[in-house]
């Protein structure tokens, strides 16, 4: 399975996924247990039959991934770093309390690279104009959003859908942590079992 292509990974056998749907969650030191528990609960609420593991050690992002001129981390580099070190056959979501960018954008809230089944949520800017509760709510939305990309979803133009692209924290606040009906149907067609939750 490790060397198979993305298309092969999504091959279905009578609507049963044949690849490992375990999600491994990793974090940097400043992401506390409560945030992780909230994200795990959110994912367990959304998906039936998904296994979630939380890596026990904190991940330290190597210094070479910091752009010292911008004082921001290279988002893709961070994703490839965690993938190289922690990815096996499962999905990886790394919650990193740093600021990051991709070339051409001032910053990103997260990045998902489906070919390596690895996503990173960068929480630094999610703290803007937020108390702790709001911060957690934003982190869980971005975790679901990036996982949606890993599972093959693109951005959605439904303003309430978690797959809507957010350019600002206000736009993160406006959307829900749930997939809209259209995105839910796409995931169901891929073989994922989702719980019916009303907003
Ligand atoms: Zn996105
Ligand atoms: Zn949607």
List pLDDT tens digits, range 134-167: 999 999 999 999 999 999 999 999 999 999 999 9
Task: Provide the 10 A C-beta neighbour count for residue 114.
Answer: 16
Q: What is the 7 CA–ligand 2 centroid distance (Å)?
A: 22
Q: Which domains does the chain have, with CATH numbers?
A: 6-192 (3.40.390.10)
Q: What is the 18 CA–ligand 2 centroid distance (Å)?
A: 25
Q: Name the CA radius of gyration of the chain, rounded.
A: 16
Q: How far apart are CA 145 and CA 163, in angstroms?
A: 5
Q: How far apart are CA 156 and CA 77, in angstroms?
A: 26
DSSP state of 76: H
Q: 161 in helix, strand or coil?
A: coil
Ligand number, closest to the Cα atom of 148: 1
Q: What is the 169 CA–ligand 2 centroid distance (Å)?
A: 18
Residues with a known catalytic role:
146
Ligand number, closest to the Cα atom of 145: 1
CB 195 within 8 A of CB 46: yes
**pLDDT for position 81:** 98
The answer to pTM > 0.95 is no
Ligand number, closest to the Cα atom of 187: 2
**pLDDT for position 11:** 46
Q: What is the 129 CA–ligand 1 centroid distance (Å)?
A: 21
CB 162 within 8 A of CB 172: no
Below-50 pLDDT ranges, the chain: 1-15
């Amino acid at each position: 399975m490790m060397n198979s292509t993305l298309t092969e990974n999504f091959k279905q056998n009578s609507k049963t996924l044949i690849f490992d749907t375990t999600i491994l969650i990793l974090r940097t030191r400043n992401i506390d247990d409560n945030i992780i528990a909230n994200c795990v609960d959110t994912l367990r609420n959304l998906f039936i039959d998904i296994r979630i593991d939380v890596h026990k050690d904190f991940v330290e992002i190597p210094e070479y991934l910091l752009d010292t001129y911008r004082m921001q981390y290279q988002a893709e580099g961070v994703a490839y770093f965690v993938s190289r070190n922690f990815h096996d056959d499962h999905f990886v979501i790394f919650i990193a309390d740093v600021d990051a960018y991709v070339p051409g954008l001032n910053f990103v809230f997260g990045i998902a690279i489906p070919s390596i089944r690895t996503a990173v949520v960068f929480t630094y800017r999610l703290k803007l104009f937020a108390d702790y509760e709001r911060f957690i709510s934003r982190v869980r939305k971005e975790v679901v959003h990036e996982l949606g990309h890993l599972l093959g979803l693109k951005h959605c133009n439904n303003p309430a859908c978690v797959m809507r692209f957010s350019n600002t924290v206000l736009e993160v606040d406006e959307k829900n942590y749930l997939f809209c009906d259209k995105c839910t149907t796409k995931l169901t067609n891929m073989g994922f079992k989702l719980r019916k939750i009303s907003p």
